[in-house]
Amino acid sequence: MKGNSSEKITFIEVIKTLVVAVLMSLIILQFFKLNTVVGHSMDSTLYDGQRLVLSLKAYENKAPEYKDIVVVERDDLSVKYFIKRVIGVPGDTIEIKDNQLYINGELINEDYINEPMVTEDLLIEVPEGKVFVMGDNRNHSLDSRNINVIGLIDYEEEILGKAVFSLSTFEKID
């Protein structure tokens, strides 16, 4: 049984649509990546299992900014990807004193943290090319405060992307 010409045209249109969809997907994946939050270090801002869209090009021509939420890629740790908030940028002096965070001598009021922080005192200057990151669930976060394990993050080499949108809540991430 031979197909008529309208069936052939429909088949050709379906193939064209599929090819365009695949090409568009490949282009989009050059700029964005999906990532899943693993763990509770960002509670209550982000939660375990939350699906995020990352901008892979956010830091192509600029450094991360204070409060950006980023995914760090580290091959030397048991968890290859982890998500944290940028607290210190190049040139900043980060001080934690009496469980309070100071940036460049200014006490920081952090309304996004899960609970009051209980941690050791720390004083560190953030050099060029690095950022200091912390989880929002400060008492349950392995982050830059642990200099021997995480330490300062090389943003050109270790930041995979900036979290920009939650697919789980359909909200922009600021």
CB atoms within 10 A of CB 58: 18
Buried b (16+ CB within 10 A) or exposed e, 85-98: bbbbbbebebbbee
Most distant pair of Cα atoms in the chain: their distance: 83
Which residue in 121, 125, 84 sits closest to 104, CA to CA? 125
> 2, 78, 80, 84: which one is catalytic?
84
Q: Is 41 assigned a catalytic role?
A: yes
Beta bridge partners of 55: 32, 162
> 2, 16, 25, 41: which one is catalytic?
41
DSSP-derived 3-state class of residue 65: coil
> How many CA atoms within 13 Å lie on the side-chain side of 44?
7
Q: Is 84 assigned a catalytic role?
A: yes
Active-site annotation, residues: 41, 84
